[in-house]
Structure 1
């Protein structure tokens, strides 16, 4: 019984060993296949990558240099200007009020915007009472002259009688004194009439000088007097000015007599003027001063309005570039210059006046270089390019 069992067990162990050997062989075959496949894949990838790299190198070797537009600006006349804003005013603003005793306004003869001559009547004051007073004084002159005439006649008769002894010298002296007093009363009456006529003349409101009427603050029927304030405002000779607020640094570059262009807000018309006064003091709070720019009268210049001014402080020659040619970064402003080998070079520059005509370069360029006009942001120093000269406009 035990013998049979042992035989059966040996047979099973042998069978199991054979199966295990077959499984190990199968696994080795599978692993070998996987490794071989991996090796083949790596080799294929390496080969493809090498081919792509070589293709890219070949493509880069044959890529053409980019075409860039360049310009040679030379030297241009450049004006250094100071720009500012300010309010428009009459250069000499003359307030006109009542200079006489006043009264009721009968007529107003001008409107704002009219031109007035020196001494022209602007408004007429009612004067019926003053006219009667003038007539009374004129009548008193007539009385005084009649008294003087009578005194003169009496003196003449007395002088004829004094030689005959009928009248003493004392009577002659008395009659001469009477005549002198009568003549004096004539002079007093004439002076009083002249004074009254002068007062009557001052009743009317007149222009103190020729100029443009800016405002009117009186109407017919209004009663005016010395306390009525300003009834008219006149810009003498129509001259206007712009009071420009400038920083302390800009004010130091401005002097009287230099030209300026004034452009009112809302208008495209510029008026030529000149600086006629520079403030001698600086506001300690705002650190600004006033430059007063004289401008002739034009309908576009209205006192009380706002305007921009461009003041030319100096002129000179410098390369003038379009704004697209000037680049900037943390190191400062620069341009790209194409050298004789058609390679891009970076050139540091100092920017001066910027205007609608372009950017003036105060240092860093002579104007004879070939400067990249635009697209400088897409270039790098040392890059080879194909320059194309910009056509003149």
Structure 2
């Protein structure tokens, strides 16, 4: 009996060995899918846990500060095209308010009046000559019909009559030109407004300088010429309310009237004109600071901490469906609080690392932790 049991055990062991050899010969190892899953499980186990956030559409609102100088909204220059006349009187000074058409200065027209009188006398003589030449022409034409005057004499009378009429027209034009010049001897304000500058004194000779005699701020309107980065300028709109702080510390409210379509290529600064309410105390050239409420509705944005800055520019670390990290360049817009706008970059809903870690590289696999879930819930009463 003992010998039979030993033989039975030996047969069982031999059968098991043969089965193992058969399985090994038939390639009885784990399937590739199982190996990949096992490898991924190992990689995930070894991956670093990192907090992620999402690219989302948000309404951003932020205050943009800009500085600039007060300038005249529209300036009128007053000069004279008449040269060689002495200034006899100046009626206004800097800071005065003038009406449209109001006299600003008077040039001495004594010599011009004498010239006009002489020209008018010449005109009267020309009129008499024309009358005489016409009567001679009428007489010559009557005699020519009777054959008492030759054709040459008739042609001569016609030429003299035409010449006298031409001289009359020239004399009339000369008188008209002098009277126009006389009307411009009084310098008048082309617009209503405040006199900013006066560069004319009694006794000066007109036409001796290219500098305007007077500079007038039309309607006395002053505005702020504000400079700001082009990224901020893109969010400013015509009609936006602006708070302007003057050099005196006084704060007034204005509205954006004009946005320049051009940006300085050297400074990347653009300009916006802010219309200010009329105030006689506003002085062009003064320094002022403006605060714009730049708002954007529904723009792609991420937390500012997610932006990674390198020599090549700004970027974010996008996390794909396999939790693999890929560095993606972005173009930034305005910043509002803890968020920054993505002008160019990943689409809404994309997962990105909540912090632009410099130690995370392309192709790294992480264990993502949603940023919202990672934050502890607030307890009642803030405890």
Which TM-score applies when normalising by structure 2?
Answer: 0.57
Task: State the Cα distance separating 1:104 from its structure 2 match.
Answer: 1.9
Residue correspondence of structure 1 range 1-393 to structure 2 within 5 A: 80-227=62-209, 229-266=211-248, 268-278=250-260, 280-282=262-264, 284=266, 286-314=267-295, 351=337, 385=381
- C-alpha deviation, 1:243, in angstroms: 1.1
The runs of at least 4 aligned residues of structure 1 exceeding 6 Å deviation read 380-384
> In angstroms, what is the RMSD of aligned CA positions?
3.4
Matching residue of 2:51: none
Find the structure with the greater CA-based Rg.
Answer: 1
Give 1:187 shift.
0.2
Q: 1:263 to 1:102 in 2, by over 3 A?
A: farther
May I ask how many residue pairs the two structures share in their alignment? 254
Question: What SS does the corresponding residue of 1:87 show, helix, strand or coil?
Answer: strand
SS in 1 for 2:114: helix
In the other structure, the counterpart of 2:54 is none
* C-alpha deviation, 1:386, in angstroms: 8.7
Please list every run of 5 or more consecutive structure 2 residues that lacks an aligned counterpart in the other structure.
1-58, 299-304, 306-335, 340-375
* Contact 2:243/2:251, CA 8 A, preserved across alignment: no
1:281 and 1:262 mapped to 2: Cα distance?
A: 22
**Which position in structure 1 is the counterpart of 2:9?**
none
Instruction: Find the aligned partners of 1:351 and 1:90 in 2 and give their Cα distance.
Output: 35
Higher helix share: 1
Q: CA deviation at 1:296?
A: 4.3
* CA distance 1:315–1:277, shift in 2 (3 Å): closer
Q: How far apart in 1 are the matches of 2:238 and 2:229? A: 16
Q: Does structure 2 conserve the Cα–Cα contact (< 8 Å) formed by 1:101 and 1:203?
A: no
- SS of equivalent residue, structure 1 residue 171: helix
SS of residue paired to 1:144: helix
Structure 1 segments unaligned to the other structure (5+ residues): 1-76, 318-329, 331-349, 354-379, 388-393
Cα distance between partner residues in 2 of 1:105 and 1:99: 14
Contact 1:86 1:244 in 2 (8 A): yes
Q: Is the 8 A contact 2:116 2:178 kept in 1?
A: yes
**Residues 65, 289 of structure 2: 8 Å contact kept:** yes
Distance 1:119 1:210, change over 3 A: same
Q: Distance in 2 between matches of 1:382 and 1:295?
A: 47
Q: Deviations 1:171-220 (Å, cap 9, x if unpaired)?
A: 33321221111111000001111222233334433334443321112222
For residue 19 of structure 1, what is the aligned residue in structure 2? none
Partners of 1:296 and 1:168 in 2: how far apart?
83
Q: CA deviation at 1:258?
A: 3.3
Q: Could you say if the C-alpha distance between residues 200 and 352 of structure 1 is closer, same or farther in structure 2, counting changes exceeding 3 Å?
A: farther
Q: Aligned partners of 1:224 and 1:151: how far apart in 2?
A: 43
- Does the Cα contact within 8 Å between 2:83 and 2:205 map onto a contact in 1? no
| Equivalent residue, structure 2, for 1:26 | none
TM-score (norm 1): 0.56
CA distance in 1, matches of 2:177, 2:118: 13
Question: What secondary structure does 1:280 align onto?
Answer: strand
Give the equivalent residue in structure 2 for 1:62. Answer: none
